[in-house]
Amino acid sequence: MTTPFRPHPLMRGAHAQTALPALFRPSPFVDWRLDHLETQDGDVITVGHFGPENGPVLALLHGLGGCLESTYLCATARRMAARGWHCIGVQQRGAGPTPNRLARSYNHGASDDIAWILQQLAARHPKVTRAAVGWSLGGNVLLKTLGEMGARAPVDAAVAVSVPFRLAPCVEHLQMGTARVYQAYLLKNLKAAVRRKHGPVPLPPGADLEKALAAKCFRDFDNAYTAPCNDYADANDYYARASCGQYLAGVTIPTRIIHALDDPMMVPSIVPEPDTLPANIELDLHERGGHVGFVSRNNSGLPQMWLEHIIGDWLEARLGAPEAAQAAELESA
């Protein structure tokens, strides 16, 4: 299934689609009601609630370096709350301004955390429709979770955006040309989080904080820090086991994957052939759109965030619209 996306005429390029919304779009205010979930291994994961309490539930999973304040997540929460959904922003383990308790942190392969969170939400909201949306890393780990859980997945539909189906080629791509700018930006944020976390939290055997902080590329950072902190043998093992593409055949719920071939952080060759996917997965593939961009033009010629409209439209076409929408000012914010 392909829904037409036409980039704004002044933002046709991949870098404009990717960078301009991230740099210049103000993050909409969301008054999250925070809930701190105690994990079975003694850590804590924070989720934020927003929207009508009795509405269908939508879990929102941020990307690498994201948190409950991420612009794309907050904007989607406001729009979906206005449509009557109870939005639950998931600040994955170790994300956000406050370090978590353990050396372990969120990563592309942390599907056990996402499965546990989705099960917690299902237990707390057993009588309503439930769905999930993930962007970039959040989309990857969501699809991995759904593939591993199969028919046990406690959600009725899912959307994943700008997904790195195979991590190793993306990591290699990020070491070349202008893609290095994105790598440098993401590594800077990761290193800041690592500095905040250690030493209050001791490093596990094999982790090398000095090498991680000196890393110039993701592979060096993941070898020094991500892999040893999260029970991977090394970066290659992490990329091989965490890539979501190999798990797609196990996804059983209606799922839409929205992806742009010009994504500047990835390469087109990672995208699976549509005929290899199960019938319940709709691959919505576009020539343009950048990474978590998809900025179109509204009737007045102003930029419009196409993703935020299409996600709600698709979910409600599959699952039905909530019985009552919220106040119009949320929708227009």
> Could you give the residue numbers annotated as active site?
136, 263, 291
Amino acid at 131: A
The residue whose two tokens read 């794309």 is 72
Residue 256 in contact with residue 159, Cβ under 8 Å? yes
Judged on CB neighbours under 10 Å (0-12, 13-18, 19+), 44 is: middle
**In 3-state terms, what secondary structure has residue 161?**
strand
b/e string for 265-304 if b means 16 or more Cβ within 10 A? bbbeebbbeeeebeeebbbbbbebbbbbbbbbbeeeeebb
Give the span between the Cα atoms of 104 and 204, in whole angstroms.
9
Which residue matches tokens 């353990």? 102
Q: How far apart are the first and last CA of the chain?
A: 29
Supply 161's token pair: 């955006």
* Residue tagged 């007045």 (tokens): 300
Backbone angles phi, psi at 189, to 5 degrees: -70, -40
Which H helix or E strand runs over 143?
helix 137-149
The SS3 call for residue 273 is coil
Nearest CA to 73 among 158, 17, 132? 132
Rounded to whole angstroms, the Cα distance separating 72 from 118 reads 21
* 66, HSE (Cβ side, Cα atoms, 13 Å): 26
